[in-house]
Structure 1
Amino acid sequence: MFEPSTSTRPRRRLALVLAATGLLPAALFGQGSTGSITGLVTDSSQARLPGVTIEARNADTGVVLTAETGAAGEYTVPLLQPGHYSLTARLTGFRAFTQSGITIELGRVTRLDISLEVGEVTETVEVTGSAPLLESETSTVGQFIENKTVTDMPLNGRRAGELVALMGNAVTVSKGVIRPRIAVAGGRGDQQNWMIDGVNSANVALENPQALFNPPVESVQELRVQQNGYSAEFGNSSGGVITISTRSGTNQLHGSLYEFLRNSAVDARNFFAADKAPLRWNVFGFAVGGPIIKNKTFFFVNNEWQKQRIGVTNLLTTPTALQRIGDFSQTTNAAGALTRIFDPFSGATRQQYANNIIPGSQQDPVGLALMDYYPEANRAPSNQAGANNFVGNRTNALNLSTLTLKVDHVFSERDRLSFRYILHDFPTNNTPVFSRPEADPFGNFSDRRAYSYLFNHLHNFAPTVINDLRVNIQPRYFITGPLEIDGGWPAKLGLKGVPGEAFPRVNVSGFTAMGATNQGRTQTPIWDHHVVDIVSWFKGSHSVKMGGEFRYSRNAENFNQWESGVLTFQPQGTNLPGTGNTGNAMASMLAGYLHRGQVRTLDRIDRRAKYWAGFVQDDWKVRSNFTLNIGVRWETHTPRIDALDRQNGFDLTATNPVCNCPGVITFAGLNGQGRTVYQGDYNNFTPRVGFAWQPFGDNKTVVRSGYGIFYGPPLPGSNNMAAGFSLDGDFLTPDNGVTAPFLLRDGFPTVQRPELGPGFGAVAPGQAAVYSPQLIDQQRQLGYSQMWNMSIQRTLGFNTVFEASYLGNVGHKLPGPSVSLNQVDPSLWRSGNMQALRPYPQFNAVTRVSPMWGNSSYHGMNLKLEKRFSHGLNFLMNYTWAKFIDDVYSGQEAGESDLGMQNYYDRHNEKALSGNDVRHRLVWSSVYELPLGKDRKFLHDGVLATVLGGWNFGTIITLQQGSPMGLTTQTNGLGSAFTPGPQRVNVESNPALPKSEQTVERYFDTTAVSAPGTLQFGNSSRALLKGPGIVNFDVSLLKNHRWGEHYNVQFRFEAFNFFNHANFNEPGRALGSPQFGVISSAADPRSLQFGLKFAF
């Protein structure tokens, strides 16, 4: 049921929460883009000194912030822009103390204790040196990436998001210059909170927190990832917080002009390609920053363009010359046994086609027309089943431009204002592999543009009370579709009953699909607005923050997803029911015998939602060597509404008048129903507690531990739930392929929009169901994780720290894959048509969208050795040993542990290793400056200094074990008992092969598994095998040539996958498919990049 539209519960609860946290008068905000410095001031006898004036001066801008020590000698200078600082302490009767060379890092509390000597305040004791690297004030476990790493590391894409992969307890799910995905410390690949300059930079409007802005490295100052135990200031994430700080101007004018280029002429060939895939890749731009008014107003601007023409090699499976004319006499499985095909029109007991050939008179004219759009085979297949008999190259074209503009102004020591603007424009045009682009499954275009307008105001009400307000306005739009969107292709094919103009989607099991999955989508406007305000209050040994945030999202779109139809063919169309190794999906298409047909067009929708949060955090210095972090956060996502009330729900128990059975589609804003399709979840209070303890009090060792509860976003929301406001037809075989829902030559049955009401979409008993409703759980709750950690840090000298940490993460109510509720209870199964036995026989699938019922468990150990840049060297080594278990597929996984639930009535059997379970992972990264040349240790001038000086060397090494994967059947023998869903294989013996026996043609023992019998579930796990691992070396070589004091030219050479190691993707996992057990693709081969950069 819907919530009543007149309900005031959300508003009342929100007001109570805000009042309890002191937030009702003001909005709130966070230190997501700044750092701070804290410590104790004592005299030579260790007596604590109150009333000491502390000045923190930014060495680059001259901006000074002051604080005063409290009664116990403690001080904190918060909200410092990352950079280089000097700290001065003054008290009458003591010599002034100044320490320079202090580096303030993004998101870090730097500890610096000061001892004052008796004397005149006009006398100054000066010290040069950085503050200790220990994380001595917080229990948060994470990773900081300094600017030297950002600028000098070999980065394939020149985007800051790539640097996240350098940390431990992480698994890269997908790379990309636009929106990389990474699973952090037991979180899921879509549960991070991406923030730039302390505000949201993720896709909130679609309830899908992927990175929306992945800024160029030239615009980035530094980056920090909080993995576990982050404070109550941060929320809306159960999978880490990724914070990126953009650069600001300084008192000196600095800038650069740069270009990077790559070309396939100097690259290696992909393992599976006969020839090199073409590549043209250029990144060029400029960055400049400096003063507008010295010590007052500063600017920074970066404009970068990226032009990519990336060649991609595809191994595809297409029909053979004989199959094209209906001759399947040479069609075998991988073992060489003939695959017999049967005439679906020959009666209840099907007869085999004579000589395994479909006569021309029985071939469907639409099926024949479709066959002509497949490219002809051009290579020898990988096995006897005919897998990978076609190779083709295509090009993914990207024209990406990013403009970053930032202006900072200091009105006074009490008021600072910052404005930051980002324009992200990234149209794409992906060329086809097929010679006939209209039928190509890869070719498409998109046009996307996103903006971010950030206003940040810092105000000191008093030296101990500071307010930080940020407002981010983030509009964007998105348009996408297939290349030949208006070609009238259904009519040219002879396909009837669809209104669209694009080529239909054609899914032929075991073969490459044809046509686009998306036949046209326009999203505009899309809004992701964010307001945050945080008040920081320093009282005695307490550093208190209280604040909150508000996010408003909107997504308006026109989505013609399947306007030209989706045609699905399975081997069951031409098999002998109840037998194995019979039937071929391509033969089913040629016979015109469909397994499923879908058509869908959607009226314009306009979805909107809000996010509210409030928090209190107290970092309490119980003793000089012991800090206690205590906090609590409340947050909620309000139920989504549609501005036009174009969304539907589903009442599981109401009686449907058409069939007199349970299950009624309900409509927002109709018949007294409220505007939301599920109830809100408003009791999300999350405690956070942790400590940092220096047991020896020597600033060399710290023990840290923390625990907290962390809610994730309510992903993903479905924009498809618009029953009554779309033209929908879903026609499915009622008996697992024995009977076709309709014949291809006849076209789609007429689909009409029924009148909105309790009988919408339903059919009477005995009639073929045609509608598949979707629903969100009416009692939907936010998923959450309980996280805890224990770590020990030890300084080793030379600016180096060793850390051993243990991280735990247990998730509950996690979103799982959408699943049909309309599975027949296995105790009622029988052969034949089981539609009447479904819980809701008046419908086909009844899909529960992303049910919040998943659980996960992660335990990881990480050993980290880190040296911050000094004496020409930095390095970071992370080794992680971890185990990750869950019972739902997340949709964003490095491995493929199936795509859904096998048996709706047996969720317990879904527990298995997660697709993001990577047992062993080692990542090494470093930057080394050879000590030769100007401003270095040796060879300061002369010819040798010119030739041998100025060289830098960078490297990233990744060694990673493979991820779990499951094996399913190509032919789902469960039929209408469950739609849709994978049927897993039966395990007869261990299918894993020794590494010495694994080949690309036979990665695992394909004979060790078998297909379950009809109406039986497979006995295998979701995660049966481990896929291939990763061995990758990236290197950079930089040559700097300086002249004068202010100019530098840098030549860069970078090599990705330097040793050209073939990192294979996963093999085919569908038993019965020609690709079963065969690896068909690999990651990129060695690629070289050259760059030239002029800096002043």
Structure 2
Amino acid sequence: MSTRSFPVKARSVFTLLGRAALAISLSLLFAHIARAQSASGLTGVVLDPSALRLANVKVTVQALDTGDTRSLLTNAEGEYNVAPLQPGRYEVSAELPGFQRYSQKGITLELGRVARIDITLQVGHVSESVDVVAENQLIESETATVGQFIENKTVRDMPINGRRVGDLLKLMGNAVYISGDVIRPRVTVAGSRGDQQQWLLDGVNASNVALEIPQALFNPPVESVQEVRVQQNNYSAEFGNTAGGVVSVITRSGTNQFHGSAYEFFRNDAMDARNFFSAQKAPLRYNIFGLTAGGPIIKNKTFFFSSNEWQIQRIGLTRVYTVPTAAQKAGDFSQTLTAAGALVPIYDPATTRADPANPARTIRDPFVGNIIPSNRLDPVGAKIAGYYPAATRAAANLAGANNFARNGSTNLNLTTWTTKVDHLLNDNSRLGFRMVLHNFPTDTAATFDNPAADPDGSITTRRAYSFLGTYTRNFGSRAVNDLRFNYQPRRFRQDTLSIGGNWPAQLGLKGVTGSAFPQVTASGYVTLGAGTQQRIQTPIRDTDIVDVYSLLLGKHSIKIGGEARFGQNQDDLNSLTSGSIGFGPQLTALSGTTSGGNAIASLLLGTALSGKIQDTDILNRHAAYYAAFVQDDWKVTRSFTLNVGVRWETHTPRVDANNRQNSFDTTKINPVSGTPGVVTFAGRDGLGSKVYNSDYVNFGPRIGFAWKPSERRSLVVRSGYGVYFGPPVPGSNTASAGFETSGDYSSPDSGNTAAFLLSNGFPATVPQVLNSGFGAVPVGSAVRLAPVYIGQDRQLGYSQQWNFSVQQELRGNIVAEVSYLGNVGHKLPAPDTSINQVRPELLLGAGSAQTRRPFPQFGNVTLLTPMWGNSTYHGLNVKVEKRFSNGLNFLTNYTWSKFIDDVASSFEVGAVPSGYQDLYNRRADKSLSGNDVRNRLAVSSVYELPWGRGRKLLNQGLLSNLVGGWNLGAILIAQAGSPFGLVTQTNTSNAFNPGPQRVNVLKDPSLPADQRTVARWFDTTAVAAPAANTFGNSSRALLTGPGLLNLDVSLLKNFRFKETGNVQFRAESLNVANHTNFQAPGRSLGAANFGAISSALPARVMQLGLKVEF
């Protein structure tokens, strides 16, 4: 299939002009905003030899790389404050008649940090001078924010997977790295939800506005990045739209000297180790190559930097699945056993009848010999079963688990182009422009013999741009304004490999209009077909407007500000045009029990447990975000700084340009069923275009202090508290009932009766007549609609964060810090939740379970990400850090933490069940979080070996060239395992509960460490399925999975030539010790792989590289 090109359309210019006008209006409305979110600053006091403060001293700050100069006079208290300044190298000088001129060079300003430089002038003539060489300031003496700065040496020389900066987040304390790729990393920070960080690229938003998702849209190459700073706790009021930390990335800028590089990195499976679960190594062809160049266009005036990187990856992936045997596909289950070796009986659903001994329940007869007669096989089901691939290896246990393993591949061609231009108009004005292009086509190859049935095969095209313009203006020496305008258009398209194959007709499946292979899910076995059969999102547009202003008033650095973001997402979602069909063991088990049954047997009989069709009209959704804040950093005394601020923010409700949205009224009586529950529609019957209410009362106070008890000791005590609001995160672009061809069908009695028979095809879809009876059926009839909606009372979730830390600077440019971080979250986003659960007291009532649901005229009534969650986090972190000096840097973080919540996060390192077991007892879901990692150690270092030219040893002659120039980099991660829970494969609660049914615990299921094996990680006999019409007694987090131990190493050899030239050879190894890091075991009671581990993180990977720098 050809890859489409996605140009940026000119018609969007008018929209941009309109939003530029709005930016000017916002500037006036908010009286300007505080300093740029990517900027730094310098502050201090000027003293005479007797420590008296000197007023009207001329202080000059000059950027050594660009020549940009700022001057001001100290105030009556002898204090100065220069902000904002861009990160980089600076010189500070001070002059006053009667005193010698003071000059301090080599000051390095880090991203988002205010450095303190106190100056003492000596009596003398101004023509005399005192020159000082600065040392890096390591302690944070001006703010209570807890975070992590990652310096450029670490960014460029560490062994980084994929050469993308997001991988560096795993170096932090109070954080758990969940997963990551070249698109974006996923991490939880200091008790936040997974993937909930606010990403800023050059000081502006880099996340999804239209769908209100804080996911990172850009994960830049390390060669284009200057610095990275992560703020974990108690960040100031100028940062918002997150309760999960702020990740700020600054791209490189040009200087007065020309610099550039050309590089290539490559991997090959010949250098790698085999994955533990693979019979052979997965094929791998992996190349990263690029060019960078930067320098002056006009010296001291205009500068440029450009980075172009390409990645070509052919990544082999080992897929391990459970597939039915040839006998099972033919209907023969005479050898289908449990893991303990007992026969799994297959019951005939056609013999279902009332139990004479207990008419309230039903019984069935088993098939003779446990074999389904050939004349009973459903023709559609039998044909679908034939598309399961044959087993490729012996099963891991008697139940037949993990009997298929094959190497597939993902083909990726990634292009990232970054260009940045800075221009100094005059001493008071600066202009800037930065562009990022991210083109990311992916082709995921199939591992099945017939690619159409493969669940993973797809062709995906992503393209994203970011166009940033900045204008900075100084107003005297006390005020600075910074205006930023960022426009991010994007495109996305995904097609399954079976699109256009007319597969429903080939299978004989009726009632669908699509051409792709239908998605077929048989519990306990690999899925056939893709869940998203086609999706086209174009255009997607995000705009961010920030006007930044800072004002110095005496001892106060006052910041007032605001921000506006606008998002649009047009979505053609054809996810299930060929349908999705679910099969479970219920239809071939003894009714109402977990005795017997097999999902493949149910498929062969054509008895579907559930089914869904969805073909959505084009949706054009819009959303916006507004914020305002005030921040005062008050220098109360020379040694005590108080940070006080408040931020207001709101997300406007998401609207559709054509009102293609629905909601749900839980109290209005439905005319079809006579029961509560009516689907409502935007723009109809009194409902406006906004299907949920605006939430304007979101004020987040922030307060903190930094105290230096003694001027003679480099000791700082810091503490802070703040309230932080996160985005609403509705996530999926759904809630479009009435504007799609849809049908949602399920068994009316939790598996005793089929939703429909395959040979009959899908039942009729819901007529698109938008009235109060839409989609409803009379009570007792087969349902056909499962509405999805966003709650009208939706509010922003928030967290209260606090910290207490002590920093001590040690000899050798080392700082030690002990910090305690607390985080309590409320109204956090829960997983999508069906509110149509049978109440527990009605589980044993008369009639089918469907008739006892609150809204019996519908299937599941799903509330999108209800804001019901709560969490608590306590973390103690010990950090020892040395910034690069004398050939060495290192960063060590040890964290002890405890993380509790009552809802699963979107992304978790653990495997805690998602969704409420009992909607009416949500308190029972409180447990350890899936992101709870009790102990974690992260150590990283870059070391220039001490021999060769310019080093201490062997620094002369030919030998110095051979043995010199060696650098060693390393990252060590050691962390405890994370929690996981156990659920039943067959839900017998008959409650239609939104989450899985958890097991009953009979005894402690954990095993001693010396008894755990890959085939049996925990005691599978210690748990049992709950009785019918009940819920399990286990917690969400019952056990702890395997821990993680990983060491990545890089070895660099530099050959320097001329003054600035260098040729660098690199050898890097990820997981150099080839330690097997197992993932969580099978967690579904009744499944073949229950208790067995079937996957592991990648084995050792080698990477070689060559870089030429000039």
The residue correspondences of 1:98-113 to structure 2 (distance < 5 A) are 98-113=103-118
Distance apart, 1:20 and its partner CA: 15
Distance apart, 1:766 and its partner CA: 2.3
**What is the CA–CA distance in structure 2 between the aligned matches of 1:639 and 1:305, rounded to whole Å?**
39
Q: Give deviations 1:204-234, integer Å, cap 9, x for gaps.
A: 2222111100000000001000000100000
Distance apart, 1:31 and its partner CA: 2.6
- Find the partner of 1:329 among 319, 330, 334: 334
The residue correspondences of 1:166-205 to structure 2 (distance < 5 A) are 166-205=171-210
**Do structure 1's residue 483 and structure 2's residue 494 form an aligned pair?**
no
The residue that corresponds to 1:900 in the other structure is 915
Give secondary structure in 1 for the equivalent of 2:215.
Answer: coil
**Do structure 1's residue 601 and structure 2's residue 615 form an aligned pair?**
yes
The residue that corresponds to 1:8 in the other structure is none
Distance apart, 1:936 and its partner CA: 2.6
Give secondary structure in 2 for the equivalent of 1:1039.
Answer: strand
Report which stretch shifted further, 602-611 or 691-700: 691-700
Q: Is the 8 A contact 1:318 1:390 kept in 2?
A: yes
The residue that corresponds to 2:303 in the other structure is 298
**Do structure 1's residue 874 and structure 2's residue 879 form an aligned pair?**
no
Distance apart, 1:947 and its partner CA: 1.1
Q: Give deviations 1:913-958, integer Å, cap 9, x for gaps.
A: 0000000000000000012223333333422111100000000000
- Find the partner of 1:1074 among 1079, 1084, 1088: 1088
- AA of the residue aligned to 2:330: I
- AA of the residue aligned to 2:698: N
**Do structure 1's residue 846 and structure 2's residue 861 form an aligned pair?**
yes
- 5+ residue gaps in structure 1? 1-17
- AA of the residue aligned to 1:614: A
Report which stretch shifted further, 745-754 or 330-339: 745-754
Distance apart, 1:797 and its partner CA: 1.4
Report which stretch shifted further, 128-137 or 139-148: 128-137
The residue that corresponds to 1:6 in the other structure is none
**Do structure 1's residue 504 and structure 2's residue 509 form an aligned pair?**
no
Q: Give deviations 1:670-706, integer Å, cap 9, x for gaps.
A: 1232100100100101100000000112250000000
**What is the CA–CA distance in structure 1 between the aligned matches of 2:35 and 2:438, rounded to whole Å?**
24
The residue correspondences of 1:326-405 to structure 2 (distance < 5 A) are 326-348=331-353, 349-405=363-419
- 5+ residue gaps in structure 2? 1-22, 354-362
The residue that corresponds to 1:772 in the other structure is 786
Give secondary structure in 2 for the equivalent of 1:724.
Answer: coil
| TM-score of the pair, normalised by structure 1 | 0.97
**Do structure 1's residue 829 and structure 2's residue 843 form an aligned pair?**
yes
- Find the partner of 2:218 among 210, 213, 219: 213
**What is the CA–CA distance in structure 2 between the aligned matches of 1:177 and 1:699, rounded to whole Å?**
44
**What is the CA–CA distance in structure 2 between the aligned matches of 1:726 and 1:450, rounded to whole Å?**
28
The residue correspondences of 1:932-1011 to structure 2 (distance < 5 A) are 932-975=947-990, 977-1011=991-1025
The residue that corresponds to 1:228 in the other structure is 233
| TM-score of the pair, normalised by structure 2 | 0.96
Distance apart, 1:30 and its partner CA: 4.4
- Find the partner of 1:761 among 761, 775, 782: 775
The residue that corresponds to 1:471 in the other structure is 485
The residue that corresponds to 2:359 in the other structure is none
Q: Is the 8 A contact 2:209 2:624 kept in 1?
A: no
The residue that corresponds to 1:547 in the other structure is 561
Give secondary structure in 2 for the equivalent of 1:906.
Answer: helix
**Do structure 1's residue 925 and structure 2's residue 940 form an aligned pair?**
yes
The residue that corresponds to 1:857 in the other structure is 872
The residue that corresponds to 2:127 in the other structure is 122
**Do structure 1's residue 318 and structure 2's residue 323 form an aligned pair?**
yes
**What is the CA–CA distance in structure 1 between the aligned matches of 2:713 and 2:683, rounded to whole Å?**
62
**What is the CA–CA distance in structure 2 between the aligned matches of 1:151 and 1:717, rounded to whole Å?**
34
The residue that corresponds to 1:15 in the other structure is none
Q: Is the 8 A contact 1:29 1:470 kept in 2?
A: no
The residue that corresponds to 1:63 in the other structure is 68
- Find the partner of 1:278 among 283, 290, 297: 283
Q: Give deviations 1:282-323, integer Å, cap 9, x for gaps.
A: 000000100001111000000000011111111111111211
The residue that corresponds to 2:88 in the other structure is 83
The residue correspondences of 1:781-860 to structure 2 (distance < 5 A) are 781-830=795-844, 833-860=848-875
CA distance 1:876–1:258, change in 2 (3 Å): same
The residue correspondences of 1:1022-1033 to structure 2 (distance < 5 A) are 1022-1033=1036-1047
- Find the partner of 1:914 among 907, 929, 938: 929
- AA of the residue aligned to 1:462: G
The residue that corresponds to 1:724 in the other structure is 738
**What is the CA–CA distance in structure 1 between the aligned matches of 2:951 and 2:93, rounded to whole Å?**
29
**What is the CA–CA distance in structure 1 between the aligned matches of 2:679 and 2:763, rounded to whole Å?**
22
The residue that corresponds to 1:11 in the other structure is none
**What is the CA–CA distance in structure 2 between the aligned matches of 1:60 and 1:465, rounded to whole Å?**
23
CA distance 1:239–1:495, change in 2 (3 Å): same
Give secondary structure in 2 for the equivalent of 1:876.
Answer: strand
Q: Is the 8 A contact 1:877 1:924 kept in 2?
A: yes
Q: Give deviations 1:695-751, integer Å, cap 9, x for gaps.
A: 112250000000000000110244110111011111100112111111011110121
Q: Give deviations 1:956-976, integer Å, cap 9, x for gaps.
A: 00001111111000001123x
The residue that corresponds to 1:252 in the other structure is 257
Q: Is the 8 A contact 2:894 2:938 kept in 1?
A: yes
Give secondary structure in 2 for the equivalent of 1:361.
Answer: helix
- AA of the residue aligned to 1:116: L
Q: Give deviations 1:124-144, integer Å, cap 9, x for gaps.
A: 100112243110000000000
CA RMSD of aligned residues (A): 1.4
Distance apart, 1:248 and its partner CA: 0.3
Give secondary structure in 1 for the equivalent of 2:1064.
Answer: strand
Give secondary structure in 2 for the equivalent of 1:209.
Answer: strand
Report which stretch shifted further, 572-581 or 1085-1094: 572-581
**What is the CA–CA distance in structure 1 between the aligned matches of 2:213 and 2:1087, rounded to whole Å?**
33
- AA of the residue aligned to 2:755: P
- AA of the residue aligned to 2:842: L
- AA of the residue aligned to 2:638: S
- Find the partner of 1:149 among 143, 146, 154: 154
**Do structure 1's residue 562 and structure 2's residue 576 form an aligned pair?**
yes
Distance apart, 1:25 and its partner CA: 5.9
**What is the CA–CA distance in structure 1 between the aligned matches of 2:378 and 2:820, rounded to whole Å?**
62
- AA of the residue aligned to 1:80: L
Distance apart, 1:27 and its partner CA: 6.0
Determine what percentage of the aligned residue pairs are the same residue.
58
**Do structure 1's residue 1045 and structure 2's residue 1059 form an aligned pair?**
yes
Distance apart, 1:580 and its partner CA: 3.0
Q: Is the 8 A contact 1:267 1:1087 kept in 2?
A: yes
The residue that corresponds to 2:543 in the other structure is 529
Q: Is the 8 A contact 1:231 1:688 kept in 2?
A: yes
**What is the CA–CA distance in structure 2 between the aligned matches of 1:699 and 1:553, rounded to whole Å?**
50
**Do structure 1's residue 883 and structure 2's residue 888 form an aligned pair?**
no
The residue that corresponds to 1:741 in the other structure is 755
**Do structure 1's residue 93 and structure 2's residue 98 form an aligned pair?**
yes
Give secondary structure in 2 for the equivalent of 1:1031.
Answer: strand
Q: Give deviations 1:27-76, integer Å, cap 9, x for gaps.
A: 64643222111111111111111111111111112211222211111111
**What is the CA–CA distance in structure 2 between the aligned matches of 1:455 and 1:699, rounded to whole Å?**
43
Give secondary structure in 2 for the equivalent of 1:630.
Answer: strand
**What is the CA–CA distance in structure 1 between the aligned matches of 2:759 and 2:793, rounded to whole Å?**
45
**Do structure 1's residue 47 and structure 2's residue 52 form an aligned pair?**
yes
Q: Give deviations 1:987-1023, integer Å, cap 9, x for gaps.
A: 0011111111111100111110000011110000000
Report which stretch shifted further, 718-727 or 331-340: 718-727
Give secondary structure in 2 for the equivalent of 1:1007.
Answer: helix
Q: Give deviations 1:398-423, integer Å, cap 9, x for gaps.
A: 11110000000111121011100000
**Do structure 1's residue 711 and structure 2's residue 711 form an aligned pair?**
no
**What is the CA–CA distance in structure 1 between the aligned matches of 2:160 and 2:216, rounded to whole Å?**
18
Distance apart, 1:830 and its partner CA: 1.9
Q: Is the 8 A contact 2:462 2:492 kept in 1?
A: yes
- AA of the residue aligned to 2:94: A
**What is the CA–CA distance in structure 1 between the aligned matches of 2:425 and 2:471, rounded to whole Å?**
11
The residue that corresponds to 1:9 in the other structure is none
